[in-house]
Amino acid sequence: MATTAPTSTAAPPGPERPGGRGGGGGKGRRAGLPGTRADRWTAPGMLAPFGFFYLVFLIGPLLYLLVAGFFNTSLVKGGLGDWVGLDNYARALSTEEFWASLWHSVWFTVLTTVPLVVLALVLALLTDRFSRGRWFFRLAFFAPFVLPSSVISLMFMWIFADQIGLAQSWAKFFGSDSPPSWLGDPDWAMISIAAATVWWTIGFNFVIYLAALQEIPRDVHEAAALDGAGPWQRIRHIVVPMLGRATTLVTVLQLVASLKVFDQIYMMTGGGPDRATEPALLYVYNTGFTEGRVGYASTVSLVLFVMILLISLVWFALVRRAEKES
Amino acid sequence: MAASTSTSGLPTRKGLDGGSGDRRDGGLRGRLRPRAPEAAPMSGPMRAVGAERLFNRVALGVLIALALLWLVPLVWAFATSVRSADEIATDPTAWWSGSPTFEAYEDLLTGGKLPYWYVNSFITSALTTLLTVLTASLAAFALSRLRFRYRKPAFLLLLAGLMVPPQVLMIPQFLALQSTGMLNTYWAVVLPQVPNVVAVFVFKQFFDGIPEELTEAARADGASWLRTYWQIVMPLSKPAISAVTIFVFVWAWNNFLWPLLVVTDPEMMTLPVGLTSVQDAFGIPQAQLMASAVLGGVPLLTVFLLFQRRIVEGIAGTGLK
């Protein structure tokens, strides 16, 4: 899921898998037994502790978002404020910063998802060919994933620093006379943050692909080799198609995690230069907490939530269909 | 070293075999000795085996180059943290300058608030983990073993929770805690992180696999459901408990946005949030910034090295079945 850990996108581990495949999968058996009727209060009692937190911190806040969006609630005055109907929605849709922030989230998502999926796949395919030394590659690519976002941000602010940073000196070494200000140039800032994010969170996808590759039986490889397929042909026509499910999974997790990007942008550029990197969540943060426009920020949160929800639902539908087919 | 960062360095044309006379398995997953990547000979008859070998060599070269590139930021941060301010000023992008010094670390650990942040992070992460494991496993036990009237709706409501990213709830969650006067306390950081739907599913999946005969026998002996959960099922569920513990702890430790909102007192900050205030301090030397990054990263890198197998397996399990 974060991402991305990393979210990060620390992709933060997202929905593990559609739960409740009761009866399927060979292991999960129907819970409960005929004839074991718990007394009336056992089940509610056991569900209560979790249920309390769940309702107070998840369901309740979600309902609040739905309601507050129709009021001009403010952080300063307290209470819900006045009913304004759909004004917040109308205002959001006609505000340039709102669209810009959505676009920044989407742009970041594009910049990170493609390399995070493709490069992770390439790394896993290459690593899978070697039985020795695997621990070293796993360590190198996965270790950054466990680091907190602020550690990543500190490191990369130093790497991307103007004049004295490593990135500019490398760029000069490779022949660029005046390398861009990586975090100070509006055109480059998001790309630099995306690069740091790829470095940070690729380990998650790498590990998933590596596990999926282990599932492919050896004789598939051997049969193809006997038919004279070269290594490159085998990867292209046999292995990659067999990784379809893993690819769907990492792509969806990555999309959802990237849309929720906040941490590293908040720290590395604060949404600057000149709001060029402000993502949706940072816009919510700024309007809600800095400007105190709670009602308006609730509306924006809800729009973002619906976007993420749609992606998750599409994924569920895909998984469902795939399960039916098999 | 100048590692090529080209990621499209796949041997597309080079790797294809010319003839198909040789029909042996071309040493898949060949255990080859790592060689210098540039030592890929382009001569010799290109039979299938040769193609395989060449492909492996190129693959190994690309992999090693990328792995080294991946290590650069970590090594770079550490290298900077042990240099003195003067040396960094004279040559900022040097990797090494004679006399390493741990001054930056001493300053941070004695003069800064870093020790507070370590303690705060540890307490909040441990509390979050404990409450999550207890509440999630209890709920999962009820869903897995008990039959009750609203089981299906309860389950669906829970499933819906998977779809809600907590980040979009930051405003109402903040208001809720503000109204109870809990801001700047450990509870403010911990409580909203407790309802962890994923943890419930991990436990439920595991409980479903525990033979029903065991719980039945306990029930037949007159144990209450609660006792069955505590004395029979939980002791059998150590793998699930440790997986959830590690993951929740790491999530809680790394959580940034939420503690940033509810904690403003520097002595109550968690480590990730505290680190941002280091960077706001004006004119702070690079060595100290990097030393705080290293100190911020060390605890979790240690956790990762200790539980590497379990963490990797836990994530890998996401992608399979």
> In this predicted model, what pLDDT tens digit does every residue of B227-282 receive, in sequence order?
999 999 999 999 899 989 999 999 999 999 999 999 999 899 999 999 888 766 55
Chain A interface includes B239 (CB < 8 A): no
The whole-angstrom distance between B124's CA and the closest CA on chain A is 15
**Interval A264-300: pLDDT, tens:** 999 999 887 888 899 999 999 999 998 988 889 999 9
Per-residue confidence (pLDDT) for residue A324, from 0 to 100: 83
Window B:268-287, CB contacts with A under 8 Å: 271-273, 275-276, 278-279, 286
Chain A interface includes B115 (CB < 8 A): no
Contact call for residues A9 and A112 (beta carbons, < 8 A): yes
**Interval A119-178: pLDDT, tens:** 999 999 999 888 788 888 988 999 999 999 999 999 999 889 877 788 888 888 887 777
Chain B interface includes A283 (CB < 8 A): no
Contact call for residues B77 and A155 (beta carbons, < 8 A): yes
How many angstroms separate the CA atoms of B201 and B155, rounded? 10
State both tokens at A126.
């290459």
Contacts of B263 in chain A (CB under 8 A): none
How many angstroms separate the CA atoms of B239 and B232, rounded? 14
Window A:236-255, CB contacts with B under 8 Å: 245-246, 249-250
Chain A interface includes B234 (CB < 8 A): no
Per-residue confidence (pLDDT) for residue A181, from 0 to 100: 83
Residues in chain A: 326
How many angstroms separate the CA atoms of A128 and A214, rounded? 8
User: Which comes out higher in pLDDT, residue B221 or B84?
Assistant: B221
Is the pLDDT score of B3 beyond 50? no
Per-residue confidence (pLDDT) for residue B279, from 0 to 100: 67
Which helix (H) or strand (E) covers residue A156, if one does?
A: helix A149-159
% of chain B exceeding 90 in pLDDT: 40
Per-residue confidence (pLDDT) for residue B284, from 0 to 100: 63
Nearest CA in chain A to B205: A28
User: Which comes out higher in pLDDT, residue B108 or B257?
Assistant: B257
Window B:47-76, CB contacts with A under 8 Å: 48, 51-52, 55-56, 59-60, 62-63, 66-68, 70-74, 76
Is the pLDDT score of B11 beyond 70? no
Beta strands in A35-150 (DSSP E): none
Query: What pTM did the predictor assign?
Result: 0.80
> What's the rounded mean pLDDT across residues A230-247?
84
User: Which comes out higher in pLDDT, residue A5 or B91?
Assistant: B91
**Interval B154-201: pLDDT, tens:** 989 998 888 888 899 999 999 989 889 899 999 999 999 999 999 999
Per-residue confidence (pLDDT) for residue B319, from 0 to 100: 54
Q: Which residue type, as a one-letter code, is found at position A77? A: K
Is the pLDDT score of A15 beyond 70? no
How many angstroms separate the CA atoms of B151 and B161, rounded? 16
Per-residue confidence (pLDDT) for residue B107, from 0 to 100: 81
Per-residue confidence (pLDDT) for residue B281, from 0 to 100: 59
Q: Do A231 and B143 touch (CB under 8 A)?
A: no
With vertex at residue B36, the alpha carbon angle to CA B33 and CA B40, rounded to the nearest 5 degrees, is 90
> What's the rounded mean pLDDT across residues B299-319?
83
Per-residue confidence (pLDDT) for residue A257, from 0 to 100: 87
Contacts of A216 (CB under 8 A, 6+ apart): A239, A242
Nearest to B290 among A158, A218, A230 (CB): A158
Q: Do B251 and A13 touch (CB under 8 A)?
A: yes
Q: Provide the pLDDT confidence category of residue B36 given band limits of 50, 70 and 90.
A: very low
Per-residue confidence (pLDDT) for residue A201, from 0 to 100: 93
Per-residue confidence (pLDDT) for residue B280, from 0 to 100: 62
Per-residue confidence (pLDDT) for residue A88, from 0 to 100: 86
3-state secondary structure of A5: strand
Per-residue confidence (pLDDT) for residue A41, from 0 to 100: 82
Contacts of B154 in chain A (CB under 8 A): 47
Per-residue confidence (pLDDT) for residue B311, from 0 to 100: 85
Alpha helices in B7-47 (DSSP H): none
Tell me what the pLDDT averaged over chain B comes to: 80
Q: Do B28 and A221 touch (CB under 8 A)?
A: yes
**Interval B269-282: pLDDT, tens:** 999 999 888 766 55
Q: Provide the pLDDT confidence category of residue A55 given band limits of 50, 70 and 90.
A: very high
Contacts of A126 in chain B (CB under 8 A): 59-60, 62-63
Chain B interface includes A224 (CB < 8 A): no
Contacts of B288 in chain A (CB under 8 A): none
Contacts of B47 in chain A (CB under 8 A): none
Q: Provide the pLDDT confidence category of residue B109 given band limits of 50, 70 and 90.
A: confident
How many angstroms separate the CA atoms of B180 and B138, rounded? 27
Nearest CA in chain A to B297: A147
Nearest to B165 among A37, A250, A260 (CB): A260
Is the pLDDT score of B10 beyond 60? no
**Long-range contact set of residues B121-127: C-beta below 8 Å, sequence gap at least 24:** B121/B253, B121/B270, B121/B271, B121/B272, B121/B299, B123/B186, B124/B186, B124/B189, B124/B190, B124/B252, B124/B259, B124/B270, B125/B249, B125/B252, B125/B253, B126/B249, B127/B186, B127/B190
Is the pLDDT score of A61 beyond 50? yes
Q: Do A42 and B192 touch (CB under 8 A)?
A: no
Is the pLDDT score of B207 beyond 90? yes
Contacts of B143 in chain A (CB under 8 A): 31, 47
Per-residue confidence (pLDDT) for residue B257, from 0 to 100: 93
